[in-house]
C-alpha cells in the first residue's frame, strides 16, 4: 500500500508526466498524493489529479497514500520534510518505533507537522546528517529502525536520490539517461524493461546515469540488471467506463493465454510444480481475500481426486500448522506482494518447507522468494477488485487438479465465459431489483461454497452492500434467523444438488427473495456446463457482473472503492 517513485534524469521532464507515472501506481492507495521536485512541495487529498502546469524538473520524488498512521489530511500527505527542509522523503511501510524516535527528535528541536510515522524518517536523516554522510546515515537507519519501509529520499545540495528497502517492495528501473526507483515495475514498464530489485536491508544511491547498491554494513554490492517481460492488455479504458468491466471482458482472452502458456513457455515449470506436489507429504495453500477463495476451490478440486490439501488464510498461518521440510506451501497472490502472505512464507521457510507460488505480477517478491513459480498471465489488473485474476487463478487450480485426475475440459472455458457475457442484460435487471438492499446472502455447497464467499466479497467491496457467503448447510445453524420477507438470497444451484435445493426452499418458505444461479436446472441465471468445477468459475463471473451493475446503480467509484488498495503491503 502506498506507491512511491523517484526519478533522476539528466534531461528535464514535465512534472505532469511524472505525476502520470504516479497515476500508474494509484491502485496502491488513493487517499492523497504529492511530490517534491527539489523546489516545490505539493500535496493534495484525494485521487491523483494531473497538474495543469508546464513546469519541468530533472529530479523528483512522488507518493500516493493509503493511510495507516494519521487521518486522510493534507498535513499527513507525503512527501514529508524535516524541520530545516534539508531532507524530503516518500515512504511506504510502517515505522514501528516511530513514537520513541519522534520523542527523541522533538527533544533535539525538531518540529513535526503530521501525525504520521513516516515523517520521523525525514527528521531522523536531518539529525544524522549534522555529523554523518548520507551513506553513514543510511547504515544507521537500517540498524535503528524497526518496521517496514520502501523509502526514497532527497537531500538538499545532493544531486542523487537515495532509496532503502525492508519488507516493502522497491525496484530500480534503468532507463536511458534516467533512473527510476519505484514500488513496482508498472511505474516505468512503458519506458524500460530493465530492472534491479532491492532485497531487504539494501540501499542505493541513484544518480542520473549511475547507481550503486549497498548492503546494511555499507559494503558495495553488484546486482544483476534483469530484463522483464510483462504480458498485458491495453492499460487504458478504451470504450469502457470502468476498468472492472474491461477486465471482466478480458477473461476469455486471459484464460486462453494461461492455458496456452501451460503447454508452451510454462510447460516445464508446470511439470516441476506438479512433481513437487506429488512428492510433498503435505500440501498447504496460503493466501488472502479473493486469492484465498481461489485456493479454497483448489483444495476442493484436489480432494475430489483423492489428494489431501489444506489452505490457511495468510494472516492466521502461523497459529494453525506445523510446517516442515516435507510440506509444500503454495502461496496464491495476484500482486505477489501481500505482506500477510510474505510473512507466512518466511515462517514456512524457517521451518524448512518448500515454496511453489502462483502469482500474477511477474518479478514480485513472492515469485522471487519461491523455489518455483507459475504465472497466471492475467495481465495488469487496474480495478482494485480482483476479477480476471481470480478467474485465472481458478483456471490454474483446475488445470492442476486435472493432472491428479479431475475430469474437466478446459478448452471450451473461454467460450463458456462468452456465453455468460450474453446474460449481461438479465444480470443488470436483477441488480436493479437489489441495489437498495442493505443485506444479502449467497449460498453454495461443496465446490460452490468458495464461490459464494467470493461473490459476497465482491459485492461488499464494490457495492458496499453487506453480503455474506455461506455454506448452504450452515444456514440453519443460526443465520436463518436473519431471513425475513424480501431478504435477497442468491443460491448457487448445481445440477443434482438436492440439498441446496432444500436450503433454497427453506429460505423461500420464510419469505426470502431467492435468486438462483444454476446449471441445467431452471433458474434466474442459467449457466451451460455440466462440470461442477467450471460451474464455479462461471457463477463467480455472474457475481462479478452483478456487483458491477449494483455499484453502477448506486453511482459508486467502482474501480477505486473506499478504504481499499490493490496491493496490501502492511500487516
Ligand atoms: C478482492 C481483492 C483482495 C485480494 C487480497 C489478496 O477483490 O482483490 O481480497 O484478493 O488483498 O491480494 P493478492 O492476491 O494480491 O495477494
pLDDT digits (tens, 9 = 90+) for 118-170: 999 999 999 999 999 999 999 999 999 999 999 999 999 999 999 999 999 99
Is residue 234's pLDDT more than 70? no
Active site residue 566: yes
Across the chain, mean pLDDT equals 95
Longest CA span, the chain: 77
Show which of 179, 196, 227 is a domain's final residue: 227
Ligand 1 pocket test: which of 169, 330, 334, 543 has the largest number of ligand atoms within 8 Å of its C-beta? 334
- Looking at the fold, whether 451 and 378 belong to one and the same domain comes out as no
- Looking at the fold, whether 169 and 294 belong to one and the same domain comes out as no
- Looking at the fold, whether 104 and 130 belong to one and the same domain comes out as yes
The share of the chain scoring above pLDDT 90, in percent, equals 89
- Please state the rounded mean pLDDT for residues 538-564: 96
Given the C-alpha cell 511453489, which residue does it identify? 356
pLDDT category, 232, cuts 50, 70, 90?
low
In this prediction, residue 6 carries a pLDDT of 98
- Please state the rounded mean pLDDT for residues 249-253: 97
- Looking at the fold, whether 403 and 492 belong to one and the same domain comes out as no
- Please state the rounded mean pLDDT for residues 206-232: 91
Q: What is the pLDDT of residues 409-421, one digit of tens each?
A: 999 999 999 999 9
Cα Rg for the chain, rounded, in angstroms? 25
Taking the centre of ligand 1 as the mean of its atom positions, its distance from the CA of residue 208, in whole angstroms, is 36
Residue spans of beta strands (DSSP E) within 305-353:
309-313, 327-333
Residue spans of beta strands (DSSP E) within 222-303:
226-227, 282-287
Q: What is the pLDDT of residues 316-369, one digit of tens each?
A: 998 887 899 999 999 999 999 999 999 999 999 999 999 999 999 988 999 999
Count, residues in the chain: 571
Taking the centre of ligand 1 as the mean of its atom positions, its distance from the CA of residue 363, in whole angstroms, is 17
- Looking at the fold, whether 179 and 112 belong to one and the same domain comes out as yes
Taking the centre of ligand 1 as the mean of its atom positions, its distance from the CA of residue 291, in whole angstroms, is 6
Burial (CB < 10 A; 0-12, 13-18, 19+), residue 248, is buried
Show which of 227, 244, 275 is a domain's final residue: 227
- Looking at the fold, whether 340 and 361 belong to one and the same domain comes out as yes
357 in contact with ligand 1, CB cutoff 6 A = no
Ligand 1 atom 16: the closest Cα is on which residue?
333
Active site residue 84: no
The share of the chain scoring above pLDDT 70, in percent, equals 99
In this prediction, residue 32 carries a pLDDT of 96
338 in contact with ligand 1, CB cutoff 6 A = yes
Which cell goes with 341?
A: 502472505
Which cell goes with 300?
A: 476442493
Given the DSSP bridges, would you call strands 309-313 and 466-471 parallel, antiparallel or unpaired?
Answer: unpaired
Options 86, 246, 534, 566, the catalytic residue: 566
375 in contact with ligand 1, CB cutoff 6 A = no
Q: Are 317 and 239 in contact (CB under 8 A)?
A: no
Where is average pLDDT lowest: 185-199, 248-262, 341-355, 557-571?
Answer: 557-571
Closest atom of ligand 1 relative to the 341 alpha carbon = 16
- Looking at the fold, whether 211 and 242 belong to one and the same domain comes out as no
Taking the centre of ligand 1 as the mean of its atom positions, its distance from the CA of residue 316, in whole angstroms, is 16
Q: Are 539 and 455 in contact (CB under 8 A)?
A: yes
Q: Are 367 and 359 in contact (CB under 8 A)?
A: yes
Total-model pTM: 0.89
Q: Kindly report the CATH number assigned to the domain that includes residue 343.
A: 3.40.50.10490
Phi then psi for residue 274, to 5 deg, are -65, -40
pLDDT category, 233, cuts 50, 70, 90?
low
Q: What is the pLDDT of residues 83-102, one digit of tens each?
A: 989 999 999 999 999 999 99
289 in contact with ligand 1, CB cutoff 6 A = yes
Q: What is the pLDDT of residues 398-442, one digit of tens each?
A: 999 999 999 999 999 999 999 999 999 999 999 999 999 999 999
- Looking at the fold, whether 55 and 87 belong to one and the same domain comes out as yes
64 in contact with ligand 1, CB cutoff 6 A = no
569 in contact with ligand 1, CB cutoff 6 A = no
DSSP string, 500-537: HHHHHHHHHHTT-EEEEEEESS--SEEE--S-HHHHHH
Is residue 384's pLDDT more than 80? yes
Q: Are 287 and 331 in contact (CB under 8 A)?
A: yes
- Looking at the fold, whether 384 and 436 belong to one and the same domain comes out as no
DSSP string, 97-124: THHHHHHHHHHTT----SS-STHHHHHH
Range of the domain at 29: 3-227
Q: Kindly report the CATH number assigned to the domain that includes residue 124.
A: 3.60.20.10
- H helices of 356-440, in order, are 365-368, 388-403, 413-421, 424-434
Is residue 532's pLDDT more than 90? no
Ligand 1 atom 10: the closest Cα is on which residue?
290
Taking the centre of ligand 1 as the mean of its atom positions, its distance from the CA of residue 176, in whole angstroms, is 35
Given the C-alpha cell 441465471, which residue does it identify? 525
| Number of structural domains the chain divides into | 3
Is residue 179's pLDDT more than 70? yes
Q: Are 66 and 100 in contact (CB under 8 A)?
A: no
CB atoms within 10 A of CB 310: 16
Closest atom of ligand 1 relative to the 385 alpha carbon = 7
In this prediction, residue 496 carries a pLDDT of 80
- Looking at the fold, whether 431 and 405 belong to one and the same domain comes out as no
In this prediction, residue 566 carries a pLDDT of 82
- Looking at the fold, whether 361 and 509 belong to one and the same domain comes out as no
The closest of 168, 175, 214, 217 to 194, measured between CA atoms, is 175
Show which of 227, 247, 269 is a domain's final residue: 227
291 in contact with ligand 1, CB cutoff 6 A = yes
- Looking at the fold, whether 204 and 69 belong to one and the same domain comes out as yes
Is residue 175's pLDDT more than 90? yes
Report CA-CA distances (Å) from 51 to 5, 20, 108, 287, 565: 17, 9, 37, 38, 23
Taking the centre of ligand 1 as the mean of its atom positions, its distance from the CA of residue 116, in whole angstroms, is 25
Amino acid at each position: 500500500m502506498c506507491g512511491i517513485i523517484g526519478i533522476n534524469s539528466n534531461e528535464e521532464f514535465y512534472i505532469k508526466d511524472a505525476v502520470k507515472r504516479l497515476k500508474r501506481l494509484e491502485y496502491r492507495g488513493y487517499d492523497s498524493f504529492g511530490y517534491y521536485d527539489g523546489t516545490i512541495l505539493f500535496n493534495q487529498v484525494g485521487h491523483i489529479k494531473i497538474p495543469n502546469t508546464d513546469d519541468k524538473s530533472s529530479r523528483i520524488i512522488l507518493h500516493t497514500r493509503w493511510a495507516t498512521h494519521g487521518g486522510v489530511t493534507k498535513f499527513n500527505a507525503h512527501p514529508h520534510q524535516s524541520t530545516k527542509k534539508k531532507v524530503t522523503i516518500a515512504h511506504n511501510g510502517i515505522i514501528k518505533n516511530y513514537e520513541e524516535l519522534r520523542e527523541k527528535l522533538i527533544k533535539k528541536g525538531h518540529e513535526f507537522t503530521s501525525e504520521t510515522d513516516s515523517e520521523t524518517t525525514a527528521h531522523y536523516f536531518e539529525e544524522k546528517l549534522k555529523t554523518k554522510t548520507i551513506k553513514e546515515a543510511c547504515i544507521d537507519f537500517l540498524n535503528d529502525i524497526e518496521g517496514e519501509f520502501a523509502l526514497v529520499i532527497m537531500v538538499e545540495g545532493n544531486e542523487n536520490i537515495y532509496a532503502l528497502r525492508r519488507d516493502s517492495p522497491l525496484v530500480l528501473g534503468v532507463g536511458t539517461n534516467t533512473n527510476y526507483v519505484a514500488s513496482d515495475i508498472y511505474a516505468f514498464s512503458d519506458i524500460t524493461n530493465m530492472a534491479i530489485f532491492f532485497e531487504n536491508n539494501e540501499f542505493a544511491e541513484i544518480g542520473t546515469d549511475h547507481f550503486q547498491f549497498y548492503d546494511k554494513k555499507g559494503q558495495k554490492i553488484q546486482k544483476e540488471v534483469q530484463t522483464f517481460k510483462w504480458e498485458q492488455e491495453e492499460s487504458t479504458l478504451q470504450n469502457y467506463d470502468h476498468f472492472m468491466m474491461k477486465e471482466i471482458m478480458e477473461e476469455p482472452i486471459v484464460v486462453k493465454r494461461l492455458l496456452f502458456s501451460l503447454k508452451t513457455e510454462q510447460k516445464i515449470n508446470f511439470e516441476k510444480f506438479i512433481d513437487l506436489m506429488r512428492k510433498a507429504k503435505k500440501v498447504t495453500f496460503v493466501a488472502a481475500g479473493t486469492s484465498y477463495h481461489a485456493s479454497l476451490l483448489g483444495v476442493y478440486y484436489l480432494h475430489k481426486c483423492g489428494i489431501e490439501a489444506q489452505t490457511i488464510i495468510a494472516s492466521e498461518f502461523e497459529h494453525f500448522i506445523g510446517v516442515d521440510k516435507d510440506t509444500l506451501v503454495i502461496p496464491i497472490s495476484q500482486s505477489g506482494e501481500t505482506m500477510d502472505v510474505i510473512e507466512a512464507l518466511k515462517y514456512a521457510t524457517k521451518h524448512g518447507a518448500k515454496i511453489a507460488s502462483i502469482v500474477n505480477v511477474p518479478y514480485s517478491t513472492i515469485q522471487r522468494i519461491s523455489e518455483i513459480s507459475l504465472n497466471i498471465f492475467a495481465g495488469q489488473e487496474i480495478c482494485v477488485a480482483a476479477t480476471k485474476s481470480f478467474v485465472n487463478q481458478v483456471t490454474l487450480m483446475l488445470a492442476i487438479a486435472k493432472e491428479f485426475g479431475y475430469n474437466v475440459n478446459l478448452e471450451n472455458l473461454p467460450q463458456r465465459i462468452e456465453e455468460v457475457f450474453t446474460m449481461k442484460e438479465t444480470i443488470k435487471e436483477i441488480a436493479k431489483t437489489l441495489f437498495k438492499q442493505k443485506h444479502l446472502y449467497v449460498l453454495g455447497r461443496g465446490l460452490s461454497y468458495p464461490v459464494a464467499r467470493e461473490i459476497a466479497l465482491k459485492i461488499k467491496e464494490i457495492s458496499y452492500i453487506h453480503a455474506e457467503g455461506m455454506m448452504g448447510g450452515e444456514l440453519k445453524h443460526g443465520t436463518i434467523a436473519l431471513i425475513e420477507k424480501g431478504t435477497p438470497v442468491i443460491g448457487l444451484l448445481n445440477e443434482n444438488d438436492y440439498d441446496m435445493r432444500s436450503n433454497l426452499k427453506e429460505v423461500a418458505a420464510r419469505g426470502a427473495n431467492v435468486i438462483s444461479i444454476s446449471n441445467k436446472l431452471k433458474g434466474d441465471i442459467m449457466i451451460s456446463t455440466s462440470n461442477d468445477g467450471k460451474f464455479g468459475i462461471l457463477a463467480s463471473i455472474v457475481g462479478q457482473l452483478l456487483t458491477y451493475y449494483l455499484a453502477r446503480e448506486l453511482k459508486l467509484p467502482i474501480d477505486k472503492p473506499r478504504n481499499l488498495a490493490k496491493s496490501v503491503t502492511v500487516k
